[in-house]
A and B are shown apart, each in its own frame.
Chain A
């Protein structure tokens, strides 16, 4: 049981380049989330998904797109990277949205945009 995994662990991009971050979970969870964490800050929600084929915007969605074609995978795309997107990105999943369910987090992807 790997839990939540993220690929890649580190990436350096130049301004304007694109990339996709992959999140995978093996717990059959319905809900998946992408957060970003800037230095010294708490996590902020970018996008989330309440099930296969569905996505929705979070707090800070601009500059990002997502897709959930398979239940176990949640992809985060940057079409034209900007230095302001330098951050650590965390994926999380949860069985349900209710308060009695915890979220499980991946190890993070550290992205630097130069």
Chain B
């Protein structure tokens, strides 16, 4: 299973943009890059995913490097509610068609008012 590397923690000020990086140098051609977040005492929540092109949705944007070895989750205006652990996960058929998600330590985002 291809692995991802994320910083342990990051801080942001409220209403400022946040860029959360993720390295995945061993990504395979069929792996999608997924981001999930987990708010305190809640289950993980899907944020966004992409394969090659940059993606936008109502929650965030995902910028994918041209060589796909890294990606960045962008929260355009952080709010206090965005304080969570953010997980960057590769998902593809390489896991024996199980679809399982392999969670690392993630990045703990603190948002300061």
| A→B interface (CB under 8 Å) | 4, 31, 33, 35, 41-45, 48, 50, 56, 58, 90, 92, 94, 96-108
Contacts and interface: CB of A to CB of B under 8 A. Distances in A.
Interface string B23-46: 000000011101010000111111
20 contacts: A42-B104, A42-B105, A42-B106, A43-B44, A45-B102, A48-B99, A48-B100, A50-B97, A50-B98, A58-B100, A97-B97, A99-B32, A99-B92, A99-B93, A100-B51, A102-B34, A104-B46, A105-B44, A107-B43, A108-B41
Given A31-B99, A102-B49, A108-B42, A97 B34 contact: no
B65 interface: no
- Contact size class for B? 20 to 34
Contacts of B102: 45
Contact of A100 (B49, B98, B101): B49
Given A48-B98, A97-B97, A97-B98, A102 B103 contact: no
